[in-house]
């Protein structure tokens, strides 16, 4: 399989991540999306599904799409007024939150590559 330009999936991942986290923050009236219950029951699972879909659609180095989606929370939080005081802790939490979407994006990418090979 040829390596597809990463611009399209990056734009999708970044745009969808920004929209998902902004909608979550605005709808729940929270500065930080993860402070809302809807984050854990709706938004984060949707982010995982989106990462898997992008991994399937763009299987070359699929971890990139998951990281882009999850880390879009940083600019959303900063634009909504979160301070920089807990940024290192927040980055560590986001790194942990990247694990499930990275794993599922990888699983979906392998499924796609197996399908294309067979």
Q: What residues make up the domain containing 76?
A: 7-117
43 domain-assigned: yes
1 domain-assigned: no
Q: How far apart are CA 51 and CA 35, in angstroms?
A: 22
Q: How far apart are CA 46 and CA 42, in angstroms?
A: 6
Using alpha carbons, list the distances in angstroms from residue 48 to 4, 19, 85: 22, 15, 28
Residue 4: its pLDDT value, please? 59
- Range in 3-12, 46-55, 57-66, 109-118 with the lowest mean pLDDT: 3-12
State pTM to two decimals: 0.90
20 domain-assigned: yes
- Range in 17-31, 51-65, 72-86 with the lowest mean pLDDT: 72-86
2 domain-assigned: no
82 domain-assigned: yes
Number of domains composing the chain: 1
107 domain-assigned: yes
């Amino acid at each position: 399989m040829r390596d597809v330009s990463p611009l399209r999936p990056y734009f999708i991942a970044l745009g969808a991540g920004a929209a998902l986290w902004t909608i979550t923050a605005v709808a729940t009236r929270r500065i930080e999306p993860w402070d809302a219950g809807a984050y854990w029951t709706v938004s984060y699972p949707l982010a995982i599904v989106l990462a898997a879909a992008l991994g399937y659609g763009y299987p070359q180095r699929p971890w990139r799409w998951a990281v882009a989606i999850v880390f879009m929370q940083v600019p959303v939080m900063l634009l909504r007024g979160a301070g920089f005081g807990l940024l290192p802790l927040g980055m560590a939490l986001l790194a942990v939150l990247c694990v499930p979407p990275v794993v599922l994006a990888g699983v979906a990418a392998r499924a796609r590559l197996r399908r294309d090979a067979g």
